[in-house]
């Protein structure tokens, strides 16, 4: 017999809905920009910095953002209560966002640390208040959390669109400021509506809250302690390798705490806690893959997705809104679906939903592998990045809101805040492991110095800027290289008029000396098995080849510049080939000065429309070289007319490492993720009966 269930949700849910919506606007607006900001803006002049280091900082930041809710949940349970924690956390996050507007490495770490502390107080406690709106057996609970989750994603959907456009038109700093405005809006919403929540979220004990030590109340000791942890988090982000030690130890401590508390409660409560702990472990894998959206998937979208729609190239951060938009559309469907299935006694159990979520995210990454076969010149059609976010959303809705609800249902009442913090910690570990995964997609070694010329809105005509390259080893520099820029109405004409005919390697050696070189250049064959290699030829010296390794020995009496050439051809597409030219300077000079290949470069910039950027990027190593192969520093010696354009240095892929090369790197990793996620999801299916038994009637 079917049972009628009241679907009407508490009014207080919508106060929390809009508070969280604005807070997520703040968080996701910043998150969409973070890796791009580090790689292409903040650290462009920092030697040896690339996406590997950006992923490490992103992972350390993300790990700490989701680790601090464990402590914030305990402090809310014991001292502050949920309301005060949310307000304090929101203030800290707003400060951090506005600090991000300052272009400084030191301030950058400082800002991230404020956001980390603030999130620790905000994130677990607003979810705990949502749980407090329902009784244990209220069938509206999962639906309520799904609606709340939709509020989260309204903010997450709007933010990347607005911050991406602001970034394109005005720059990163203004985009971060916009994210900070979102946090302030969330704070105002909560402060105006918190009285309607009644006792839900009040301090657990006012006597404990106001008790004084050294003349200061416990409440303010919590605030003081929290602010003093900011330098600690700065240290952990900057020296992020420490996280490889600190974070696993912290995880063991939390696991031990949960197990310790599990053996202090009744058998039923203990087994329910065991279910949470086991599902948390599977959750870590899900989020490790899912959170590639902020790291490897961001740069994959930047480098390997065809983002052109007419004359508009969609800004990369904007795609991070796609997942959230799908949640807005599908969350009500899922909420209604769970209730309808519950009415008929057919709703899948929480563990089964988790297994489906893992399988779905595995299939999502598999879709990108399929997308590679539809790529043109290495650019995958827009459809496939939309598809992965759609499938990720199906997995997320099967797991994430259900997980939040599970914690509030299965946790002992006196431990809800702590266990909710532990649930957030699962996402923290996912960020930690996700950073490790993202590093496998690194393009660090393929990046080189470039100059970015950006015309201002509506400007046309001609412009000029000048740069040279400095060698720190020989303490010498090239002659000035002048760049003449024509600003045109034709977007297709944008670019630099010159491209090298060969991938060039420069080395120097003394007469009679010997060097070795791998013929299979990683720039042209990133996976090491995608190409064939022709027989190399040299003008002078003795050349021997053993497998992929070339050995060159200069003649004892030679004082010249020798050249060795070979061709690398793709196996799958023999029309794709690159000429490699190794240029050897043979003499007795210890350090050679850098050399400019040309004195003038011609470039065309697209006349900037109001809705997007129109940069011209000049890879400087196409026009200058160092005979010793030393790294060169770009110095802009004459800027363009300030009324017409801006110019700055940035990182950019080597000219020969286009989408055709990077697509292999990304899909190789994504294919592995697909297989692992599906296999683990199937494993969880076999554990479902045991976990259902330990839940003791809670669905």
- Residue 556's CATH number: 2.60.40.10
pLDDT < 50 positions in the chain: 1-2, 4
451 and 349 part of one domain: no
Do residues 626 and 506 touch, judged by C-beta distance below 8 A?
yes
- Classify residue 379 by its DSSP letter: B
Residue in 143, 198, 145 with CA at minimum distance from that of residue 408: 145
Q: For residue 85, what are the contacts with CB-CB under 8 A and spacing of at least 6?
A: 72, 75, 76, 121, 122, 125
325 and 310 part of one domain: yes
pLDDT at 475: 93
574 and 669 part of one domain: no
Do residues 32 and 160 touch, judged by C-beta distance below 8 A?
yes
406 and 504 part of one domain: no
232 and 320 part of one domain: yes
269 and 333 part of one domain: yes
Separation CA 587–CA 578 (nearest Å): 29
Tell me if 289 is assigned to some domain: yes
What's the pTM? 0.87
Number of residues written out for the chain:
699
How wide is the angle at C-alpha 43 spanned by C-alphas 301 and 177, nearest 5°? 75
pLDDT at 355: 94
CA distances from 566 to 21, 569, 625 (A): 57, 10, 20
423 and 507 part of one domain: no
Tell me if 393 is assigned to some domain: yes
586 and 670 part of one domain: no
Residue in 493, 520, 506, 566 with CA at minimum distance from that of residue 661: 520
Structure tokens at 260: 């310790």
Separation CA 363–CA 395 (nearest Å): 10
Separation CA 128–CA 76 (nearest Å): 10
Tell me if 3 is assigned to some domain: no
Structure tokens at 682: 């199937």
Report residue 41 CA to chain centroid gap: 15
pLDDT at 343: 82
Read out DSSP for 597-608? S-SEEEEEEEPP
Structure tokens at 462: 């001609």
340 and 473 part of one domain: no
Domain coverage including residue 253: 12-443+662-694
45 and 171 part of one domain: yes
Separation CA 387–CA 385 (nearest Å): 5
Tell me if 259 is assigned to some domain: yes
Provide the CATH number for the domain around residue 431.
1.20.1250.20
- Classify residue 376 by its DSSP letter: B
User: String of b and e for 241-257 (b: at least 16 CB within 10 Å)?
Assistant: eebeeebeebbeebeee
Cα dihedral value 358, 359, 360, 361, nearest 10: 50
Tell me if 194 is assigned to some domain: yes
Separation CA 566–CA 526 (nearest Å): 17
Cα dihedral value 261, 266, 269, 274, nearest 10: 60
Residue in 448, 468, 512, 476 with CA at minimum distance from that of residue 591: 476
Domain count, the chain: 2
258 and 326 part of one domain: yes
Read out DSSP for 260-327? HHHTTS-HHHHHHHHHHHHHHHHHHHHHHHHGGGGTHHHHHHHHHB--EETTEE--GGGGGGHHHHHH
121 and 157 part of one domain: yes
- Classify residue 3 by its DSSP letter: -
pLDDT at 1: 41
Q: First and final CA of the chain: distance in angstroms?
A: 19
Token pair 């003791």 in the structure block, residue: 696
User: Mapping DSSP to helix (H, G, I), strand (E, B) and coil, where does residue 556 land?
Assistant: coil
Tell me if 134 is assigned to some domain: yes
Tell me if 2 is assigned to some domain: no
Tell me if 1 is assigned to some domain: no
Sign of CA dihedral 136, 138, 144, 145: positive
């Amino acid at each position: 017999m079917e049972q009628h269930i009241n679907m009407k949700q508490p009014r207080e849910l919508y106060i929390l809905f809009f508070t969280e919506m604005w807070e997520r606007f703040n968080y996701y607006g910043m998150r969409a920009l973070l890796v791009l900001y580090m790689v292409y803006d903040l650290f462009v002049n920092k030697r040896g910095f690339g996406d590997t280091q950006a992923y490490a900082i992103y992972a350390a930041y993300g790990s700490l953002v989701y680790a601090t809710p464990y402590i914030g949940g305990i402090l809310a349970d014991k001292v502050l209560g949920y309301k005060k924690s949310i307000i304090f956390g929101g203030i800290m996050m707003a400060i951090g966002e506005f600090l991000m507007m300052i272009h400084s490495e030191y301030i950058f770490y400082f800002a991230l640390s404020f956001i980390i502390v603030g999130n620790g107080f905000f994130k677990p406690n607003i979810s705990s208040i949502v749980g407090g709106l329902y009784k244990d057996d209220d069938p509206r609970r999962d639906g309520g959390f799904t609606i709340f989750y939709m509020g989260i994603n309204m903010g997450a959907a709007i933010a990347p669109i607005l911050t991406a456009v602001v970034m394109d038109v005005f720059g990163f700093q203004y985009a971060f400021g916009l994210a900070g405005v979102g946090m302030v809006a969330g704070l105002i919403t909560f402060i105006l509506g918190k009285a309607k929540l009644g006792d839900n979220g009040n301090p657990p004990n006012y006597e404990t809250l106001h008790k004084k030590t050294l003349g200061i109340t416990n409440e303010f000791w919590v605030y003081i302690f929290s602010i003093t942890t900011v330098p600690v988090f700065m240290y952990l982000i900057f020296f992020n390798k420490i996280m490889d030690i600190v974070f696993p130890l912290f995880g063991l401590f939390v696991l031990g705490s949960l197990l310790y508390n599990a053996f202090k409660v009744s058998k039923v409560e203990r087994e329910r806690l065991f279910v949470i702990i086991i599902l948390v472990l599977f959750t870590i894998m899900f989020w490790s893959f899912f959170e590639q959206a902020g790291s490897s998937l961001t740069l994959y979208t930047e480098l390997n997705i065809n983002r052109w729609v007419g004359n508009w190239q969609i800004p990369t951060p904007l795609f991070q809104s796609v997942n959230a938009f799908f949640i807005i559309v599908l969350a009500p469907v899922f909420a209604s679906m769970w209730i309808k299935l519950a009415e008929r006694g057919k709703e899948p159990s929480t563990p089964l939903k988790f297994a489906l979520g893992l399988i779905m995210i595995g299939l999502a990454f598999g879709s990108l592998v399929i997308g590679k076969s539809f790529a043109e010149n290495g650019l995958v059609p827009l459809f496939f990045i939309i598809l992965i976010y759609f499938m990720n959303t199906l997995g997320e809705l099967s797991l994430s809101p259900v997980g939040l609800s599970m914690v509030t249902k299965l946790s002992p009442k006196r431990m809800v805040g702590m266990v909710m913090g532990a649930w957030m910690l699962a996402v923290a570990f996912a960020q930690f492991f996700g950073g490790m995964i993202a590093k496998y997609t690194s393009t660090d070694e393929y990046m080189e110095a470039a100059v970015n010329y950006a015309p201002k809105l509506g400007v046309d005509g001609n412009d000029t800027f000048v740069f040279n390259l400095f060698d720190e080893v020989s303490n010498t520099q090239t002659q000035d290289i002048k760049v003449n820029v024509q600003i045109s109405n034709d977007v297709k004409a944008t670019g630099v008029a010159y491209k090298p005919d060969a991938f060039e390697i420069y080395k120097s050696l003394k007469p009679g000396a010997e060097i070795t070189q791998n013929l299979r250049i990683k720039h042209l064959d990133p996976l090491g098995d995608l190409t064939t290699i022709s027989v190399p030829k040299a003008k002078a010296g003795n050349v021997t080849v053993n497998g992929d390794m070339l050995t060159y020995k200069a003649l004892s009496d030679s004082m010249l510049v020798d050249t060795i050439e070979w061709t690398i051809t793709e196996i799958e597409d023999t029309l794709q080939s690159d000429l490699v030219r190794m240029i050897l300077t043979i003499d007795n000079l210890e350090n050679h000065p850098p050399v400019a290949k040309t004195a003038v470069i011609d470039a065309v910039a697209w006349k900037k429309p109001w809705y997007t950027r129109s940069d011209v990027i000049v890879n400087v190593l196409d026009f200058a070289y160092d005979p010793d192969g030393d790294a060169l520093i770009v110095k802009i010696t004459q800027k363009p007319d300030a009324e017409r354009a801006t110019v700055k240095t940035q990182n950019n892929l080597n000219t020969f490492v286009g989408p055709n090369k990077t697509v292999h790197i990304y899909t190789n990793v994504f294919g592995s993720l697909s297989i692992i996620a599906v296999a683990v999801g199937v494993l969880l299916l076999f554990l479902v009966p045991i976990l259902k038994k330990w839940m003791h009637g809670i669905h």
